[in-house]
Chains A and B, each alone.
Chain A
Amino acid sequence: MDSALMSRGVKRCPTWQFILWLCLFGGVLLWGVYAILLIWLKGLNQTNMNDNYGFALWIWADLGVIALGGGAFFTGFLKYVVGKDDLKNIINYAVIIGFICYSSALLILAIDVGQPLRSWFIFWHANVHSMLTEVAFCLSCYFAVLTIEFIPLILENRQIDKVPFFHNLSHNMHKVMAVFAATGAFLSFFHQGSLGGTPSVLFGRPFSYREGLLIWPWTFFLFTWSAAAYGPCFTLFVTRITEKVTKKKLVKQNTIDLLAKISGWMIATYIIAKIIDTWYWATVTAPSKGFAFMDFYSNNPLYGIWILVLEIVVCGIVPAIILLTPKGRNNSVALFIAVTLGCIGVLLNRWVMVLQVVAMPVMTFDKWVMYIPSWQEVATTILPVAYGIIVLMITYRYLPIFPQEQELNPNP
């Protein structure tokens, strides 16, 4: 029925099957939209946020998707600025994944601010002493970059490409894409960094407080580094899932291998920096504020030392070792385990830096404060997942995302 919209020489599932899955994820999406409406119409009392948890599940989800979406800026940087041309076979998917992640992040912020109609205040009445202002500026601008990077891909749809203006526009945008990619890398460096810097300038919160270089705490650099390291893991993770679902090989192993190897080096160097940062914080910074290291990991039902071991060893050192060894990269199961652990690792890091920070007591009379999100918060956090799957389904069906698909699957 819709075959005229699909690229030539590729096979897609029957329309009824596509619509059925679309309806399924559309239902989840509508559940999230209902929760959004409740929050916008009735207010933030629909959430379980309180004086302790002003930054709660949403901000974790926000930081999480921004880190996972880092694959777009880093892959773009590698392809257009460094010149790793092999990555052209996966860059389209990285851009779409980045677009989904960043549009989700902006949607979450639109819910979180409570008054989305006043979102423009941050640009017009900017507080130029706030790291979050820088985050808002760079996030919005980088979303514009991702949209610009996404447009040529949409214009390459079989029917749209027949219109000379759109064909030429797509061609011309491709020619200057390096400028947009470089701008995107610049913007990403700063907003990823400022997101890391925000908890670390809170000198009243010794769990997250860090020293640093000039005005930037060490976590400023660690957040950017981790997004560049783990973002490609998410790109590889989604690519692998797509291959499993479609039962097709979509990207050649040499491209996967290259991105995995770069990601492995980035994770390895990041984890060394993270260990040094943690060691210095545990032995110098925290004691100077009157805290012993184990104060942060005891006397509460959830946050034990296991969380630090899981983040650094299981989800840091292990994936780095797998991705750095050719055997690990060439074994599809090991590779999938590594990128999955990588994604969990960066999400865990953001969880710790958002939620454990506000959970732990800072005064002698304080107690650990646990937090359980309301269903509205959960629904609006799951919404981006359903939204992302729907966008991936539509783009995979109608756009030429994978340049090697025909070659790898010659008999559609």
Chain B
Amino acid sequence: MFPFSFEWVWDMAHLIFMGGLWYALSILGAGMTYCIIKTIIDTNKGKGCHH
């Protein structure tokens, strides 16, 4: 649920619940994005080619 959904209410419960969900998903998403970008850079540099 996002703040633009019709059910959204600006109260503590929505902020804590949905904020917690987005926070966790953001960490996972950012972590994976970092890994993939770093991997693309490393691979282009020729790292891991001896395998």
Contact = CB atoms under 8 A, between A and B. Distances in A.
Interface of A: 123-126, 128-129, 133-134, 137-138, 141, 144-145, 148, 161-165, 167-169, 171-173, 176, 179-180, 183, 186-187, 190
Contact of B24 (A124, A141, A167, A169): A141
A197 to B, nearest CB: 14
B5 A144 contact: no
Contacts of B18: 126, 128
Q: Is the interface of A mostly helix, strand, loop or mixed?
A: helix
A169 B1 contact: no
Interface in B1-51: 1, 5, 7, 13-14, 16-18, 20-21, 24-25, 27-28, 31-32, 34-36, 38-40, 42-43, 46-49, 51
Q: Is the interface of B mostly helix, strand, loop or mixed?
A: helix
A133 B7 CA distance: 15
A128 B17 CA distance: 6
Most A-side CB within 10 Å, residue of B5, B20, B24: B24
* From B34, B38, B39, residue with most partner A Cβ within 10 Å: B39
B42 A168 contact: yes
A253 B47 CA distance: 36
A169 B28 contact: no
B20 A137 contact: yes
A141 B26 CA distance: 11
Shortest beta-carbon contacts, A-B, top 3:
A167-B48, A164-B48, A128-B13
A164 B31 CA distance: 20
A144 B25 CA distance: 9
